[in-house]
Structure formats: structure tokens, C-alpha cells
Structure 1
């Protein structure tokens, strides 16, 4: 399959330092496709990172259907817990639905939750919210806009 690469599109660069910032970052990452093998936790650096292909919701509002390679990382990560993520299947694809923050008993610490379709969840216990999202690679046209089961059920009524 040939990929139609697009040039001169603005690269997204976002920093999140609180739960409101993280909500904005989450909106841009909704429906990002992440290969399990492109997820890493570096305990010595207390960093969690992933690379994915995010659907560009801003371009969609302008009538363009595009995806872009993007990197996301979190600092100050003390522990990572995974549910329904098979590390032994590095080519499996996860569909990111949301990134949220749950404050812990000792602010500004808490848990960042990455929720994926199909019940997969990655929880990051963090000192505080400190995340960065950057477009790092090519941008290409995609054939379809992501659709969620709720939206599909509503459109069939």
C-alpha cells in the first residue's frame, strides 16, 4: 500500500503540566494507533514514552482526513501498571481513547491513565503531571475518520 505523504503541515507540540493541559493533549490523541512494541518505560530515567499515529482532528475540521506520527512522553513516572496489554505481542495495535489524571493522596502526585479500546489500560503513578506530545514524523492521508461504537450505534438508529 502506497502512503501519500503530506508536507508543510504544522507540527503539533504540546506540554501538559496539570489535568486541564492533559485533557487538551488527550483530545489531540484520541484514536491514535499505538504499536505495543513502540511503548517503553525507562525506570532509571523515570520516563514513559510511546510513538503512535494520531488522527489529526484539527485537519478533519477543515475537511482533511490525515494521520501523523507523534511521540508522547511522561516524566517523573514512579511505576507503570498494564492491564490487557500483551508485551509478548509487539506488533499488536492499541487504539488510544483517552488520557486522564486521577489525583493521589499527596498532591501533585497521582495516576495518569491511558485508556485504549478493547479494555486495555496503562496506569502511570507520577510525582506530578508532566507530559509532552510532539509530531515527529510523516503525515499522510487516511481513507476514513475514526468511528466509535457509540457513534456507530447512534447513526444506525
Structure 2
């Protein structure tokens, strides 16, 4: 008799995801919710039309497992890259304040004409970054091993 595989049977691997439409983006948005990053870790490469953030991402995909096993919650450093960016606008973001740490609340896409649109990164404290894109292509890639979240707690939001 065979048994079903369990999560513990799998080998944990770093995330590597790509969003090419709004439905795909909701998955990435859920995974980067509550990520934090210093002002120094965001960059717009105009020549290559890429906007990127190096995030300290809360591992939402592991949160239930951590609760069940009564172990610490984890974070992992990840790169969130938005491709085909033609324009960047921000509100409440001061990249020159090198001590500032931002918290990412949501990532959304508003479609325009012929595949164009706007990716909006909403930050805690009324900050936002709007990225005009020629086509939606968002990449999320873990670049370090998970580490214990400094707070040892899961992020929470008042209801």
C-alpha cells in the first residue's frame, strides 16, 4: 500500500517565480506582503528597463508549518524585479535617507492599452512606487537561505 507524500518529504528549495499576468501577480504579491527593505536596496536600471528591490521577505509559505512545529518564523532575502519599466514615480519615498527601512504592503497591476500598464508597490506609512511598464513581467527569486525572523513573530495587521 502506498501513502501520500507529505510536505516534510519534499526538499525545500528557494522560490523562483514569474508573473506575466494579473492572476500570476497575486501569488507573488501574497508572498512579498510584509517584506522589508532599506532605501539603499532599490534600484532602477533605465538602460535595461528594470526596477529591482532586495527584500527581506517573510516566508508566508512556511508560516503554518512553523506554527505547527512550534518553531521560529523565518525570513529570506529575495529579489523582486519588474521588467520593461518605462517610468518610475514615487510618493513618500526618500531614497537619500539611507537609514530608512520600508515595509511592502501590496503589489498590484492596473492594465493599460495593448499590454501596457502600471505596477504599484504600496508601502506602509502612505508611501507608494508606481512603475509604468510596457508589458507585465515580475520576477521573484530567493537569493539566500532562510533565517530566523528577528522579531520571531509573524506580521499582523489590525482589522
Say whether the fold is shared (TM-score over 0.5): yes
Match of 1:136 in 2: 143
The equivalences for 1:1-157 within 5 A come to 9-63=12-66, 64=71, 65-104=73-112, 106-142=113-149, 143-150=152-159
Specify which structure has the higher proportion of strand: 1
Q: Whose radius of gyration is greater, 1 or 2?
A: 2
Q: Where do 4+ consecutive residues of structure 1 move more than 3 Å?
A: none
Gapped runs of 5+ residues in structure 1?
Answer: 1-7, 151-157
Distance (Å, rounded) in 2 between the aligned partners of 1:131 and 1:9: 22
SS at match of 1:11: coil
Match of 1:4 in 2: none
Distance (Å, rounded) in 2 between the aligned partners of 1:122 and 1:149: 23
Shift of residue 34, structure 1, vs aligned partner: 1.2
Structure 1 window deviating more from structure 2 (19-28 vs 138-147): it is 138-147
Gapped runs of 5+ residues in structure 2?
Answer: 1-10
Post-superposition CA distance 1:49-73 (Å, at most 9, x none) = 1101000011101125100000011
SS at match of 2:27: helix
Under a length normalisation based on structure 2, what TM-score does the superposition of the two structures give?
A: 0.86
Shift of residue 107, structure 1, vs aligned partner: 2.5
